[in-house]
């Protein structure tokens, strides 16, 4: 079981137990969950009703309170994601992620109803929240089967409404629907409505469209999107270039290598980082030359001074460095890390011995 899903199951169990059975029933059910004994059909039905939010429709004040709490959690998650430098920040993001997953899963139908019938601002919050409705499943097939039996996935029911609302007039709602589709990352998501939004005049919509495409497309289904994504690599706004780089990398489209190499010198460091990662994903060892050259130039930009307090710019350069090294190691299988000289020697030897 993955570490996240191992932590998530107790969260779900606790949330279900708090939803309203007697103290005796709670204790008995909790002991059975701890012991790992399969639930009886009656217990499974009880859990299913809780998980699918079938215990009744929330009154309007409670629904408004739920949306307000989701809005706060989403804002905290967003801030922690943007400022995700260092292990502590990453753990904080994971914590917000897990809280949102549990809250959305346990109130799925209520949130879906808000997306369909709520006020415009509430619909936008509901759209973003639905992106957290896909539970992280264990990697082990046996554990995964047991996990899904107890906690069946509900997120597929959100995909249709989210795609339908991509045609909404409110930019905030459209942006959040795209964000949710990115997080759900389901390859069965209809591509055409998302692809059309790469041509939107709104930067945030174009950006989120590229982001969504990076997870819903596969190398087998993405051929029709390549032309639009290659154009997006030349977008005037760095956010669009950044997410388009992630998308062509995920598709492993080797025709993007030339433009990705140019983006290694983009004015925005995050674009450089994602371009480096994408080059590594393409799987062409011939791209190691441009990666090594950029790593060497970056070393001259890195500040010296052991006791110097790192700045935000320093941290972003380190992210670029980490992505360059990861791409080189992925393509070469060599463990040279930040040692540019060893990379240069290896590349020179390979170039001489290449046919």
Report the mean per-residue pLDDT for the chain: 83
Task: Give yes or no: residues 126 and 223 share one domain.
Answer: no
> How many structural domains compose the chain?
3
In a domain, 79, yes or no: no
Of 250, 271, 292, the residue at which a domain comes to its end is 250
In a domain, 319, yes or no: yes
Task: Supply the range of the domain harboring residue 237.
Answer: 191-250
Task: Give yes or no: residues 246 and 134 share one domain.
Answer: no
Residue 255 CB contacts under 8 Å (≥ 6 apart), including other chains: 226, 230
Task: Give yes or no: residues 131 and 11 share one domain.
Answer: yes
Average of per-residue pLDDT across 278-301: 94
Task: Give yes or no: residues 115 and 216 share one domain.
Answer: no
In a domain, 53, yes or no: yes
| CA–CA distances in Å: residue 211 to residues 197, 241, 273, 328 | 11, 10, 15, 24
Phi and psi at residue 109, in whole multiples of 5°? -65, -35
Task: Give yes or no: residues 207 and 345 share one domain.
Answer: no
The predicted-structure confidence for 95-150, as pLDDT tens digits, reads as follows 778 888 888 998 999 999 999 999 888 999 999 999 999 988 888 988 888 888 88
Of 250, 276, 292, the residue at which a domain comes to its end is 250
Assess whether pLDDT exceeds 90 at residue 44: no
In a domain, 201, yes or no: yes
What is the pLDDT, as a whole number, of residue 279? 97
HEC letters along the chain? CCHHHHHHHHHHHHHHHCCCCCHHHHHHHHHHHHHCCCCCHHHHHHHHHHHCCCCCCCCHHHHHHHHHHHHHHHHHHHHHHHCCCCHHHHHHHHHHHHHHHHHHHHCHHHHHHHHHHCCHHHHHHHHHHHCCCCCCCCCCHHHHHHHHHHCCCCCHHHHHHHHHHHHCCCHHHHHHHHHHHHHHCCCCCCCHHHHHHHHCCCHHHHHHHHHHHHHHCCCCCCHHHHHHHHHHCCCCCHHHHHHHHHHHHHHCCHHHHHHHHHHCCCCCHHHHHHHHHHHHHHCCHHHHHHHHHHHHHHHHHCCCCCCCCCCHHHHHHHHHHHHHHHHHHHHHCCCCCCCHHHHHHHHHHHHHHCC
Task: Give yes or no: residues 339 and 258 share one domain.
Answer: yes
Assess whether pLDDT exceeds 80 at residue 89: no
Buried b (16+ CB within 10 A) or exposed e, 251-277: bebeebbebbbebbebeebbbbbbbbb
Backbone φ/ψ region at 19: left (φ over 0), alpha (ψ -120 to 50), beta: alpha
Task: Give yes or no: residues 334 and 266 share one domain.
Answer: yes
Which has the closest alpha carbon to 114: 133, 98, 91?
A: 133
What is the pLDDT, as a whole number, of residue 99? 82
What is the pLDDT, as a whole number, of residue 241? 97
Task: Give yes or no: residues 164 and 106 share one domain.
Answer: yes
Cα–Cα distance, 253 to 217 (Å, whole number): 12
In a domain, 307, yes or no: no
Cα–Cα distance, 349 to 227 (Å, whole number): 36
Assess whether pLDDT exceeds 90 at residue 162: yes
Confidence of residue 266 (pLDDT cuts 50, 70, 90): very high
Of 169, 203, 236, the residue at which a domain comes to its end is 169
Assess whether pLDDT exceeds 70 at residue 160: yes
Assess whether pLDDT exceeds 80 at residue 58: no
Tokens 């040279």 sit on residue: 336
Average of per-residue pLDDT across 248-255: 91
Task: Give yes or no: residues 279 and 206 share one domain.
Answer: no
- The CATH number assigned to the domain holding 256 equals 1.25.10
| Greater model confidence, 239 or 302 | 239
The predicted-structure confidence for 169-209, as pLDDT tens digits, reads as follows 999 999 999 999 999 999 999 999 999 999 999 999 999 99
In a domain, 84, yes or no: no
Task: Give yes or no: residues 1 and 132 share one domain.
Answer: yes
What is the pLDDT, as a whole number, of residue 31? 52
In a domain, 291, yes or no: yes
Task: Give yes or no: residues 10 and 114 share one domain.
Answer: yes
Tokens, residue 34 = 């701890």
In a domain, 139, yes or no: yes
What is the pLDDT, as a whole number, of residue 355? 45
Task: Give yes or no: residues 231 and 256 share one domain.
Answer: no
């Amino acid at each position: 079981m993955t570490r996240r899903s191992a932590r998530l199951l107790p969260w779900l169990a606790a949330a279900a137990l708090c939803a309203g059975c007697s103290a005796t029933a709670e204790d008995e059910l909790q002991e059975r969950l701890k012991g790992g004994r399969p639930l009886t059909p009656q217990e499974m039905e009880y859990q299913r009703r809780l998980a699918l939010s079938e215990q009744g429709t929330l009154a309007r004040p409670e629904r408004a309170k739920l949306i307000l709490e989701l809005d706060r959690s989403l804002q905290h998650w967003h801030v922690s994601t943007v400022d995700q430098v260092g292990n502590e920040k990453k753990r904080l993001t994971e914590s917000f992620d897990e809280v949102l997953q549990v809250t959305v899963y346990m109130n799925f139908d209520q949130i879906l109803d808000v997306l369909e019938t709520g006020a415009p601002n509430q619909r936008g919050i509901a759209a973003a929240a639905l992106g957290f409705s896909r539970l992280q499943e264990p990697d082990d097939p046996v554990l995964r089967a047991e996990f899904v039996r107890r906690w069946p996935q509900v997120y597929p029911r959100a995909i249709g409404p989210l795609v339908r609302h991509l045609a909404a007039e409110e930019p905030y709602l459209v942006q959040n629907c795209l964000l949710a589709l990115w997080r759900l990352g389901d390859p069965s998501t209809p591509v055409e409505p998302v692809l059309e939004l790469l041509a939107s005049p709104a930067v945030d919509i174009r950006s989120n469209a590229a982001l969504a495409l990076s997870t819903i497309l596969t190398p087998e289904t993405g051929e029709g999107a390549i032309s639009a994504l290659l154009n997006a690599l030349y977008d005037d706004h760095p956010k669009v270039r950044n997410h388009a780089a992630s998308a062509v990398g995920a598709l492993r489209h080797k025709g993007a290598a030339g433009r990705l190499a140019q983006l290694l010198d983009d004015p925005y460091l995050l674009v450089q980082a994602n371009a480096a990662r994408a080059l590594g994903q393409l799987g062409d060892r011939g791209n190691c030359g441009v990666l090594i050259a950029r790593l060497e130039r970056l070393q001259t930009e890195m500040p010296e001074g052991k006791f110097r307090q790192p700045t935000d710019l320093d941290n972003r350069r380190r992210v670029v460095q980490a992505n360059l090294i990861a791409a080189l190691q992925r393509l070469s299988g060599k463990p040279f890390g930040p040692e540019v000289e060893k990379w240069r020697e290896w590349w020179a030897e390979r170039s001489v011995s290449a046919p």
